[in-house]
Structures are given as C-alpha cells and as structure tokens.
Structure 1
Amino acid sequence: MANCLPIMVQGTHSDAGKSLLVTALCRIFSNKGLRTAPFKSQNMALNSYITIDGKEIGRAQGVQAEAARIQATTYMNPILIKPEGENRSQIVVHGKPLRTMQAGEYREDFYEYGKQLIKESFSKLATDYERIVIEGAGSPAEINLNERELVNMSVADMAKAPVILVGDIDKGGVFASLVGTLQLLDPEDRQRIIGVVINKFRGDLALLQPGLDWFEDYTSLPVLGVVPFIDNLTVDAEDSLALAGYHTGQNATKALDIAVLHYPRIANFTDIDPLVLEHDCHVRFVKKRSELGTPDMIVLPGSKNTLEDLQYLRDNGITEAVIELVEKEGTRIVGICGGYQMLGTSVMDPSHIESAHRRMEGFNLIKHMTTTLTAHKRTVLVSGHVQLSGHILPVDGYEIHMGRTDRDSNSYGSHFIHLSDGEKDGFISEDERIIGTYLHGIFANDEFRHTLLNKLCEKKGVPVTYDRCLYQSVREKSMTTLADVVESHLNMALIEQKMDAFSKR
C-alpha cells in the first residue's frame, strides 16, 4: 500500500460531475503510465455494469475502469444499492444480490458488515495499483446521515485520501454550495480537502475570476481548476438524474422519431445512447400518453420493478396507445430486459421478489409468453448472432435479470438471438416489427443498429444513411476528449504535489 496514492472526488450535491471527473482522472493517470483503478464504496444506481466474471457493479465504475484501461472487478464497487420501491432496495455485495432491505435496516444492521467489506476491497486495490481515484456520493455535508455513512468522509479517512470538492456552476450558486459544504464539515474532515474544482463552466473566465479570488481568500483553499462544459460527450451516465439531459419533445427536422418509454423504475437507460448519436434519429423520452405521438419506433428499456412499471404505463393510458400504434399503424417496437418481459401476456411475481403485485397483464404483443420472477439473478456477458432483413449479424452485450420467460413453441415468431453457447434469447415476429431481448447493449452493436435503422428509413420513404457512427470508436474518442479537456483546465502539478504531501502525514 505504500506505493499507492489515493485521491477522492466529492461533490456539493448529486450530479455535480463527480463521476466524469473520476473518469477523466483515471485516463489522465493511465496516460502517465500509472496503474490506476477507480473505487466507489457504495453506489446507488439502476445503471449497472457486468464484469468479465459475470458480476454486477455500478456502471460508472465499469466505465471508469475502461478509462483506466483495466478490467473492472467488484473490488471497485463492493456495494451496489438498487432501489425497488419507496424505502426499499436490493443490496448487491461483490456483484451478487444479498437481499432486499428497508433503508433503516440497511443503516442499522448492515453498517458494520459494509464497513468491513469496503476496507477489504480498498486494501486489495491498494496492493495492485499505484493510483486509486475514489468517488463519493451525494454530499459530504448531509449531516443527518454522516454518523453512519459509508461513502464520503468515512471512506476518505479509511483510505487516508485527500479530497477534491467539485461544484456545478451550471446549476447556479456554486460559491454558496462550495462554501456551505465546507462550513458544515467537521474540522478534521475539512482538513482533508486540498482544493475545489468548478465544473460545467460556460462563458468568459475573466468574469468569474473575482469570484475565484474571493473564494481562495475566504476559505484559504485553492481553486484547482475550472472545467468548461463539454458538449456531446458519450460517457455512460451513472443514474437517472442524467435523464434530464435527454430530449422529451418531438423534433421534425430529423428523419426518424424514436420514443423511449420512461417509467419510474427505468434501469440501464444508457442502452439507447447509440441511437442518440445517429444524426437522423431524434430519441425522446415519453412519460405521458399525450407525448407519444406517432413514432417510427418505440423502445421499452429495462426496469428494476417490471410489475410496478407496467401498472404505471396502464394507469397513464400508455399501454393502450402503444398497442394501437403497433397493431394498427405498424410501428416497430423493441423491448429490452424488463421491457421485453412487458411485451408478453403477463408477468408474475408469486414470491413478491420485486413487487406487492402477484401478477400483471403485459402488452400481449408477444402472444403466449409469460415471465415469472425468481430469486436467482442472471448476470453474464454474452455473444451470438441475429438474423435481420436477410442478414446474419454478430451481437454481444450483457444480461441482468431476475425471471424466467416462457413462450408456447407453437406460437408465431421465433427466437431473436442465437447465443454462442447454443442457447437462444428473445423474440422476433415474422415481419420483424416486434423484438424482445434480455440483451442489454443490443443497440451498441453497429451492424445490427445500422440495419435496423435503415429498415425504418426504407419503410418511411426517407434516404437510407451509409455514414452511421461506430459506437465504440465514439466512446473512446469521448474519453480522450474528456481527459484532454480536464487535464488542460486542472492544475495537475498542484494536485499531485498535494497527494504526495498528504501521503506523508
């Protein structure tokens, strides 16, 4: 551990930019030839990532590991909290579900066990890496939670890590939020903060300079950098707060209109990011029937509580409207994971794995298909091929689901994916308008996505596009851009100097 220098990024609030800054630092240190790993002790998110050994961690830590050019492991996120309903979450420990807990139960009964898990995981990373970039959660100034928190200053203390505090100027009041956070910290915790970063800045830096000077004089802490707002980054979002950045209204200037159903327990919504990048696609999230319109394609993303989200869609009249579009207008529809389960005849939860409901009717667009939720969770990386429009196309991705889906073998349609291990997944109708699959990341497969979108173009009578994006190439370019921009706007020499000095305390 003596050769490992940790640094922690905390924020004045959620969505301040912690995940992106950690991602950038992972790539910056990796570029310097330093063995680097991300670490987040406890992550609350419905966007998850599957490691090479089939374990589930927060998606942000998986992406940060990619930025560091290493394989992600559960040591980088030993505790993942996946909300299932009000005051209730599934607790995932080292990539596998432990059990569902109430908030109070987690805080009281899990605390000591969680604390030990975190310490052991960090120690393992510290023996293997030269730099560990730690991400906090929410704010370290949540004084009602600080006595038994497992993710901010308690982790900084355990790791003996200096802390960078980041504030989001795009939301306004950045100096108030930075100073207020500092004022609410205990003196020993405040001593861990080596400086602040102001994130998402737009405009003339000269106009901000008086505020920076005042802040440094008032707090005696340096401003380590002012990072500009970086547009058009393709770096997977951590949680649903990022959904505010996605489109919701229609846009007639783009050839293809794609509607994504946005239910309360939406999960792994970043599955649609590759569609967003296509220049002829307008991808929008739909919460109300009145917002649905007449899209060219409807996407049902994953769900952490399929039955409750089905109830939401039915209560809002969206189910009926979607069925009418598919059956009468010929609209194409794709369901992924929980969205795939919804397309069937019914979803059952006899043991109340996720919901208080025992059974909920589905869209019945895939006839004679039922899903029964079970305690076993399938988490695995998979690959195979699909047949679409006469083409055999390779695909890969990952599965995260609790449930067994059965379909009458005599019903119409066929399996969608033939997996490399000989198994089959999903459903595709004979006319290819209805597709369901457990494969997250399906749209990230370029050949499949290009073929699917060009079939939509043909049906609509608009020009087919042959210069579509290559998704993984765009992601890698985004990570390079992020690291380059952040490094050019941070005082990295001062940060590394303070990291070194802090390690000698």
Structure 2
Amino acid sequence: MTHTLLVAGTASHVGKSTVVAGLCRLLATRDSPVAPYKAQNMSNNARAVATPDGEAGEVGISQYTQARAARIRPTTDVNPVLLKPRGNGESQLIIHGRAVGHYGAGEYYAEHWNRARLAARESWKRLADEYDHIIAEGAGSIAEINLHHRDLANVETARFTDADILLVGDIERGGVFASLVGTLSLMPSDLRKRVIGCLITKFRGDRSLLTPGIEAFEERTDVPILGVLPYNDPGLPEEDSVSLPPRGERATFGANDGVSDERAVTIAVPRLPRISNFTDLEPLAREPGVRIAYLPLTNQIQNADAVVIPGTKNTVDDCLALCSADFDDRLRAFDGPIVGLCGGYQLLGRRITNAAVEGTRSVEEIEGIGLLPVETRFTEEKHVEPVSRPIHGCGPLTGASGVVDGYEIHMGETVALTAVDRPFDGMGAATDRVLGTYVHGLFENETVRDAFLDSVFEHAGIERSPTLTKRQTIEAERESETETEIESPHDRAAALVRKHVDLSALGLAE
C-alpha cells in the first residue's frame, strides 16, 4: 500500500520544496520507489514534460526538480493542476499539462475547481499504482480558513490520499512557534489529527538556544519537533517570484564566489511585472565571476556588461510597461550582448500582432523594441514541447556548437521579416550582438553558457580565466567532502534532511 506524506507549511516560501526534494532523493538512493506530487501549484516557472497519454505538457519547476530528485521521468501527474498568473487577477489554468483557459479566481472556483479536483485524484491514483511512497507538497499555508472548503493542494490532498502531515515553518522572519501553534489550531480537526510532527527551517546560530522553545511548544501542542534545518540553500531552482526583489528594488545574485567585483561581469535582467521562467538565469548566476542584477524598469543599464530579457506571462502588457519606463530606448542604446528568452525574444522583435488574443488590452498591433527583424503573431494555440536542436554559433553565442537541449512553452509564432541568422536549426534569430530564442533551459547547455559568457567578458574587457570554471569548483568541493560525495542540489537537499530530520518518526527510516 502506498504511503503518502504531505509536507505542508505555515506560509509560502518556508522550505517545503527543499524538504520534498530531499526526501525524494533520500528514498531514491535506497531504491525505494518514490514520486513527488503537488495537486495544485501556482507558478510561472514551468517545464515541459510528458502527459499521461504521451503528449507534451507543462508542470511547475519544483515538481520537475523533485521528480529528477526521485530519479523518475517527470510527467504531468506530479503536478496535475497548474495556475500561471498573468496579471489583472487572472491565471492561465493548466490541467494535466494542457492549457484550459484564462480565469479569475471566482470563475475558477465556481466553474473549474471540481474538474481540477478530479484531475488531481486521477494523477495521484496513477502514481499510487506505481510507487511505494508519494511525497506531496502543499501550497502556501494549510491554515487559510477562508479556503478550507476548496484547498486542493492541502486539505483535499490530505483527505483523498489519506496522508500523514509534516508541518514546516521557517524561523528566518521570526515568530516560528507562534506560526506553528496558530496553524495547528486553525487546521480542520481531521487534518490536525494527521500531523505527525513539525520542522523548523532556515535556522542560523546556536541550536541549543531553541531548546526551551521546542520544549514549551511540544508541551503545549503534544506535537514533536522532528528537526531543525540550518539555513543552507542546496541550490534548487526557485518556484516563484517570491525569491526575487520587489518590483521597485534591485537585487544582485551570484556574488559569493570569491571573485572580486573588478574581475566580475554584470548581466542585467529587467524585472518585468509578469516575469516567468526566471530560473533560466540560474546557471549563469552559479558561474564564478558572474553577477545577475535584477533591475527595476526605471534603472539605467549602461554599467551592465550584458542584458538578458527573461520570459513573461503577458508579453503585450510587459512590452507596454518597458516602453512606458523608457527601458526600450535604453536597450536600443546599449552596445553589449543582448539575449531574449521566449517572451523576451518576442519583445525584441519589431512588432506583435493579434495582441488582443494574448493581452487584456484591445489592441491588434503594438511595436516591439525592434532589435531583431522578426514579428510575433498570437493565436489561441499554446506550443509546449521538449526540444533538442543543433546550434549554429552566431551573435552573442559565437563559438557554440553541437546540440542544445531545452524546452518550449509559449503562445504565438515568430517569423523573420528579413534575412537574419537562425542559430537553432532554422529557429530563433540573431544579429552580431542580439539573440532571441524560444528555448528555455538555454544556459543549462555548457556550450551555450561558455560561448555567451566569453562574449560578455570580451565586451567588458576582462580576461575570463580558462581555469575559473564551475566544473572545477564542484570537483574541488567533492574532493574536500569527508562524509559523503555531494553531486547535485538534490544530493545536498537529501544530506540536509538526512542529518537534521528524525526520519524514523516519518516512517522513512532504513
């Protein structure tokens, strides 16, 4: 009989995804069949995977990552319902990997929630028929009393899977004991009985200082604290934009690599109001000497060494936002390498047509930034597929060769208006310094990443040392590791859970 463990939280961004990934990898290393599961997710960071009938669909990136941690082939069953916010109170509803439509919250709950619930149950049943363990992830807080009658990811999941519940709260922002006590008191009574323990995450400092609080908490609630996880990011992809700075603030990532700022390059990323799949930038941020700066649209970019425009859930409205802030003028004046990914590719073109289909504004055509001689026309059809294409190195990717693997998730088709380099087997577009492509996961490819960074360092006038590569950094970390070989973020998450969580209380001890 399949055992389901629901990792629920006191709030969003408390570490649920890391705990699920760690438990999945831990069980996978024991050859114990395990799958992750999240009945309903809300995220604009998605990956292309297979649907139950073998077609291409999309799931939230956390469930994709967790499936990789479990060493199984990701399918849409690990995340049967996905909501992708697009602004103005609407989200695109994805069921079993396929887009159903755009709805406000009221319309979704009134007309589509029951269908979503059935889909979630179907997916869990298929997983339960194949795996001994299912590690489910809740969404946000399990204590949202206004949503208990329609809380698919938490309340419904716990009930239809007959799950044990592990409650997670983070101490980083303070008030963890109040959050845990309050959550336990507000949970439905039948779910409260399913809670087998709590975890405290993101702890910094002396563990012994928590002892009085833990003892008082356990005495008050009769629920054990099963672990205290230190603040130690294993490097898993971020699920949503909570990890990014607020729209009016700048933040820089990738600065803790021991490389002086004088020897580093800065890649500017505009903080689009409806940014999506910003995890495409994470492979660059992990490279020594590379800083990724997320900038408000009103910021200057002349001090940056390159610009990458990420995906967007609403190309039309984000194009209008860029132009309203005069970011388009600053980008046209910028003389360094520029890459547009998916929606960013569409923004770099000369125009976008049939815009009323994609946006909320009733306009048939808007001008793009105009750095690539292409045009995008929107239709109702959504394109989702894994891709593997030969690359012809050109523009900012001069020197790249071989095959590029990734995935496409987009609406709209982009065509060239004049002769232009097509770097990906006739797809995408490039000039001497500007490149656009629909390929997500582009910088996960070593040949692309190295070619792009070579062009960025060259433009900055900084010598990129051939010995300063992330691969060698990882090898050095492995050689210095004494207890276990750390091979990936999944392994680091598993090591974190193994060391700091009472697995026997979860029924997961060896």
Matched, 1:14 2:12: yes
Shift of 1:292: 2.8
Please give the alpha-carbon distance, in whole angstroms, between the structure 2 residues aligned to 1:29 and 1:247. Answer: 39
Task: Indicate the residue corresponding to 1:239 in structure 2.
Answer: 240
Matched, 1:162 2:164: yes
Matched, 1:483 2:488: no
Which residue, out of 493, 496, 499, partners 2:507? 496
Please give the alpha-carbon distance, in whole angstroms, between the structure 1 residues aligned to 2:164 and 2:346. Answer: 46
Please give the alpha-carbon distance, in whole angstroms, between the structure 2 residues aligned to 1:196 and 1:75. Answer: 27
Q: Which moved more, 1:187-196 or 1:282-291?
A: 282-291
**What's the secondary structure of 1:456's corresponding residue?**
helix
Task: Indicate the residue corresponding to 1:441 in structure 2.
Answer: 441
Residue type of the partner of 2:368?
A: G
Matched, 1:340 2:345: yes
**What's the secondary structure of 1:98's corresponding residue?**
strand
Shift of 1:218: 0.8
CA deviation string 1:123-177 (max 9, x = no partner): 1110100000001101111111111221112210110001000001111111111
Task: Indicate the residue corresponding to 1:287 in structure 2.
Answer: 296
Number of corresponding residues: 482
Task: Indicate the residue corresponding to 2:421 in structure 1.
Answer: 414
Task: Indicate the residue corresponding to 1:269 in structure 2.
Answer: 278
Please give the alpha-carbon distance, in whole angstroms, between the structure 1 residues aligned to 2:171 and 2:262. Answer: 31
Please give the alpha-carbon distance, in whole angstroms, between the structure 1 residues aligned to 2:90 and 2:491. Answer: 38
Change over 3 Å in CA distance of 1:263–1:76 after alignment to 2: same
Task: Indicate the residue corresponding to 1:129 in structure 2.
Answer: 131
1:77-92 matches, cutoff 5 A = 77-92=79-94
Identity %, equivalent residues: 37
Q: Which moved more, 1:36-45 or 1:453-462?
A: 453-462
Residue type of the partner of 1:415?
A: R
Which residue, out of 366, 372, 375, partners 1:370? 375
Task: Indicate the residue corresponding to 2:483 in structure 1.
Answer: none
1:85-124 matches, cutoff 5 A = 85-124=87-126
Check the 8 A contact 1:349/1:355 in 2, yes or no. Answer: no
Change over 3 Å in CA distance of 1:103–1:391 after alignment to 2: closer
Please give the alpha-carbon distance, in whole angstroms, between the structure 2 residues aligned to 1:118 and 1:451. Answer: 42
Shift of 1:456: 2.2
Residue type of the partner of 1:238?
A: E
Task: Indicate the residue corresponding to 1:427 in structure 2.
Answer: 429
Check the 8 A contact 2:316/2:358 in 1, yes or no. Answer: no
Shift of 1:293: 3.8
Shift of 1:464: 2.1
Check the 8 A contact 1:16/1:199 in 2, yes or no. Answer: yes
Residue type of the partner of 1:22?
A: V
Please give the alpha-carbon distance, in whole angstroms, between the structure 1 residues aligned to 2:107 and 2:209. Answer: 49
Shift of 1:186: 2.4
Please give the alpha-carbon distance, in whole angstroms, between the structure 2 residues aligned to 1:247 and 1:387. Answer: 34
CA deviation string 1:150-209 (max 9, x = no partner): 111221011000100000111111111111111112222211111100001110001111
CA deviation string 1:223-256 (max 9, x = no partner): 010011114x321111111224997259844421
Change over 3 Å in CA distance of 1:192–1:291 after alignment to 2: farther
How large is the RMSD of aligned CA atoms in angstroms? Answer: 2.2
Matched, 1:307 2:307: no
Q: Which moved more, 1:117-126 or 1:265-274?
A: 117-126
Please give the alpha-carbon distance, in whole angstroms, between the structure 1 residues aligned to 2:25 and 2:277. Answer: 24
Check the 8 A contact 2:43/2:60 in 1, yes or no. Answer: yes
Task: Calculate the TM-score normalised by the size of structure 2.
Answer: 0.90
Matched, 1:382 2:393: no
CA deviation string 1:455-478 (max 9, x = no partner): 22223321123232249x899522
**What's the secondary structure of 2:349's corresponding residue?**
coil
Task: Indicate the residue corresponding to 2:361 in structure 1.
Answer: 356
Residue type of the partner of 2:360?
A: S
Check the 8 A contact 2:250/2:296 in 1, yes or no. Answer: no
Shift of 1:390: 4.7
Please give the alpha-carbon distance, in whole angstroms, between the structure 2 residues aligned to 1:239 and 1:348. Answer: 29
Task: Indicate the residue corresponding to 1:503 in structure 2.
Answer: none
Residue type of the partner of 1:248?
A: A
Check the 8 A contact 2:252/2:292 in 1, yes or no. Answer: no
Structure 2: unaligned runs, 5 residues or longer: 256-260, 476-485
Check the 8 A contact 1:289/1:321 in 2, yes or no. Answer: no
CA deviation string 1:281-321 (max 9, x = no partner): 11110113335342111000001100111111111221111
Check the 8 A contact 1:336/1:440 in 2, yes or no. Answer: yes
Task: Indicate the residue corresponding to 1:421 in structure 2.
Answer: none
Residue type of the partner of 1:302?
A: G
**What's the secondary structure of 2:205's corresponding residue?**
coil
Q: Which moved more, 1:183-192 or 1:4-13?
A: 183-192
Please give the alpha-carbon distance, in whole angstroms, between the structure 1 residues aligned to 2:400 and 2:370. Answer: 28
Structure 1: unaligned runs, 5 residues or longer: 419-423, 501-505
Please give the alpha-carbon distance, in whole angstroms, between the structure 2 residues aligned to 1:182 and 1:357. Answer: 47
Check the 8 A contact 1:393/1:448 in 2, yes or no. Answer: no
Check the 8 A contact 1:307/1:357 in 2, yes or no. Answer: no
Please give the alpha-carbon distance, in whole angstroms, between the structure 1 residues aligned to 2:353 and 2:487. Answer: 41
Task: Indicate the residue corresponding to 2:212 in structure 1.
Answer: 210
**What's the secondary structure of 1:124's corresponding residue?**
helix
**What's the secondary structure of 1:323's corresponding residue?**
helix
Please give the alpha-carbon distance, in whole angstroms, between the structure 1 residues aligned to 2:263 and 2:159. Answer: 51
